[in-house]
């Protein structure tokens, strides 16, 4: 039985977005609850068809960008942050969005090669544990020759060079007795990897035992590469006590630098991964560690701490009539009317408050005192004298109207903007524990109008 008339499908095939206008806060801006991220204007039936696509595009993107920015905040500016979440992302292409928006939120690179190709995000990663365990021993390596970095010489048996270095490390006075026989499977894997990629040797050292096999094996290969003029990149820890293991590994590297006179070996890169999140990074910071780069997957891309952002799409005006959605829960009451939104900055350059006004109200002016009211609580209000005023909603889709369209910046530009806007916030708004809430307000006129509508729409209750 048909559930709707054929005419509906004809209608659907006839419509387009030429009568629609889309305004939005530029991507990468810091945003706050109640201030609309987008304002969509046009025929109500067409607009309703846009509801789910827009929410689906905005909700997760904003969530994971925010999550990435939070991870950056706790890790600090000096660390490299790598997004390693592809296999844990939700849905077959959830990982693509995750990589893109993690980068926007301040990550440096991704292990997702497709996202690298699509968006130009730098790619980072290491070989797998399976790569290590796929080797049995050094006799599996058949092509043992390595040409030096400058092309001037060739080592015919790089495998023996590695083995000799391992013996020297074992016999060095400072390290003697700290490890015994290392895994030959692992040594073969590292050597094979270095032969293929002498310029980017980064070894995953925890397949068998970090301090008794992985790190000594890595150092033997790195020293052999050093003989040939190559500089190893570093190691990755993917299990165990990352604070302890990173500190012990750093000590080992320093001993190598000192004992064998290889300048800079102590500064070798240490990457850590394994279910990292804001809390574990914060704990590592408090405990002390020697990690240079964090690889963050599951907790980043699934936004484990809060897996959804509750953006909604509300009708605020139709045929010039303002509309309001009431609710038992005041935080769910929508703010009616087609609105303009502004960010007001103080003399120190920090944003002070966001304010929403009716479409036809004059905008805030620099140096002029303006009353900013809490949208719902009568007693909460403040006068503000802005030193700088920024209109937040810009036109990104003018449809057939004559409004000029904002250009879409590149992902790299949006990322820079996001980092810059985050840095511009007053620090107390950004602290992890008990941040000062950033104020979102409405004009006096809009306040009066909201409360007029509210009283008109809400049936009067009677306590019984």
CA-CA distance, 324 to 367, in Å (whole number)?
33
Binding mask 389-428 for its own copies (x = CB under 8 A): ----------------------------------------
CA-CA distance, 297 to 303, in Å (whole number)?
10
Distance (Å) of CA 386 to CA 156, 301, 353, 368, 392: 72, 38, 9, 7, 15
Judged by CB, which is closer to its own copies: 317, or 390? Answer: 317
Q: Are 398 and 404 in contact (CB under 8 A)?
A: yes
CB 368 to its own copies: min, Å:
35
Q: Which of the stretches 72-80, 200-208, 248-256, 386-394 binds its own copies when contact is defined by CB under 8 A?
A: 200-208
CB 369 to its own copies: min, Å:
35
Is residue 35 packed enough to be buried (19+ CB in 10 Å), middle (13-18) or exposed (0-12)? buried
Q: Which of the stretches 146-154, 180-188, 347-355, 411-419 binds its own copies when contact is defined by CB under 8 A?
A: 180-188
Could you say which of 15, 43, 128, 282 contacts its own copies (CB under 8 A)? 128
Could you say which of 15, 118, 136, 330 contacts its own copies (CB under 8 A)? 136
Give the tokens for residue 389: 């005023």
Residues 53-72, interacting with its own copies (CB under 8 A)? 55-57, 59-60, 63-64
Coil, strand or helix: which one is 23?
strand
CB 386 to its own copies: min, Å:
33
Judged by CB, which is closer to its own copies: 303, or 352? Answer: 303
Could you say which of 11, 12, 33, 44 contacts its own copies (CB under 8 A)? 44
**Residue 283 touches its own copies, criterion: CB under 8 A:** no
Q: Strand 351-358 vs strand 339-345: parallel, antiparallel, or unpaired?
A: antiparallel
CB 3 to its own copies: min, Å:
8
Specify the DSSP element, H or E, that contains 146.
Answer: strand 146-147
**Residue 304 touches its own copies, criterion: CB under 8 A:** yes
**Residue 332 touches its own copies, criterion: CB under 8 A:** yes
Ramachandran bin of 315, using left for φ above 0, alpha for ψ from -120 to 50, beta for the remaining angles: beta
Residues 70-99, interacting with its own copies (CB under 8 A)? 86-98
Judged by CB, which is closer to its own copies: 31, or 344? Answer: 31
- Shortest CA distance to 300 belongs to which of 88, 112, 120? 88
Strand order in the sheet with 202-204: 109-110, 80-83, 293-296, 269-272, 234-237, 202-204
**Residue 231 touches its own copies, criterion: CB under 8 A:** no
Residue 269, C-beta contacts closer than 8 angstroms, at least 6 positions apart: 202, 233, 234, 235, 292, 293
Judged by CB, which is closer to its own copies: 323, or 445? Answer: 323
CB 257 to its own copies: min, Å:
24
The residue to which tokens 């009067």 are assigned = 460
Judged by CB, which is closer to its own copies: 106, or 214? Answer: 214
**Residue 32 touches its own copies, criterion: CB under 8 A:** no
CA-CA distance, 343 to 320, in Å (whole number)?
25
CA-CA distance, 232 to 221, in Å (whole number)?
8
Q: How many residues bind its own copies (CB under 8 A)?
A: 76
Residues 433-462, interacting with its own copies (CB under 8 A)? 457-461
CB 439 to its own copies: min, Å:
26
Judged by CB, which is closer to its own copies: 49, or 371? Answer: 49
CB 56 to its own copies: min, Å:
5
């Amino acid at each position: 039985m048909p559930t709707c008339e054929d005419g509906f499908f004809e209608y659907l095939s006839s419509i387009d977005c030429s009568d629609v206008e889309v305004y939005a806060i530029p991507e990468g801006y810091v945003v706050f609850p109640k201030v609309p991220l987008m304002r969509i204007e046009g025929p109500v039936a067409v607009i309703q068809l846009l509801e789910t696509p827009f929410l689906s595009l905005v909700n997760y993107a904003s969530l994971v960008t925010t999550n990435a920015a939070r991870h950056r905040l706790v890790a600090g500016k000096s660390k490299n942050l790598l997004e390693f979440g592809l296999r844990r992302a939700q849905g077959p292409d959830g990982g693509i969005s995750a990589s893109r928006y993690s980068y926007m939120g301040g990550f440096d690179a991704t292990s997702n090669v497709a996202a690298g190709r699509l968006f130009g995000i730098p790619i980072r990663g290491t070989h797998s544990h399976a790569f290590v365990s796929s080797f049995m021993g050094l006799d599996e390596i058949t092509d043992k020759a390595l040409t030096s970095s400058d092309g001037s010489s060739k080592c015919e048996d790089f495998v023996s060079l590695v083995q000799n270095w391992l013996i020297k490390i074992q016999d060095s006075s400072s390290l003697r007795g700290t490890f015994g026989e290392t895994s030959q499977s692992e040594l073969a894997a590292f050597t094979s990897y270095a032969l293929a990629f002498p310029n980017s040797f980064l070894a995953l050292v925890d397949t068998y035992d970090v301090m008794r096999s992985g790190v000594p094996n890595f150092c033997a290969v790195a020293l052999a590469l050093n003989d040939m003029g190559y500089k190893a990149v570093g190691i990755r820890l993917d299990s165990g006590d990352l604070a302890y293991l990173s500190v012990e590994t750093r000590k080992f590297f320093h001993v190598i630098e000192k004992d064998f006179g290889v300048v800079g070996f102590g500064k070798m890169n240490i990457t850590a991964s394994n279910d990292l999140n804001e809390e574990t990074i914060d704990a590592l910071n408090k405990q002390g560690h020697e990690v240079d780069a964090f690889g963050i997957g599951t907790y980043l891309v699934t936004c484990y701490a809060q897996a959804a952002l509750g953006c909604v799409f509300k009708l605020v005006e139709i045929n010039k009539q303002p509309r309001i959605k009431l609710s038992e829960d005041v935080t769910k009451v929508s703010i009616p009317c087609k609105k303009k939104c502004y960010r007001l900055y103080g003399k120190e350059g920090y944003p002070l408050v966001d304010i929403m006004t009716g479409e036809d109200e004059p905008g805030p002016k620099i140096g002029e005192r303006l009353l900013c009211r809490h949208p719902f609580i009568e007693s909460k209000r403040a006068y503000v004298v802005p030193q700088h005023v920024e209109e937040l909603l810009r036109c990104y889709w003018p449809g057939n109207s004559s409004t000029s369209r904002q250009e879409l910046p590149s992902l790299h530009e949006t990322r820079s903007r996001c980092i810059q806007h985050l840095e511009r916030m007053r620090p107390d708004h950004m602290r992890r524990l008990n941040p000062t809430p950033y104020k979102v307000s409405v004009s006096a006129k809009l306040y009066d109008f909201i409360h007029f509508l509210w009283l008109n729409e809400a049936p009067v209750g009677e306590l019984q």
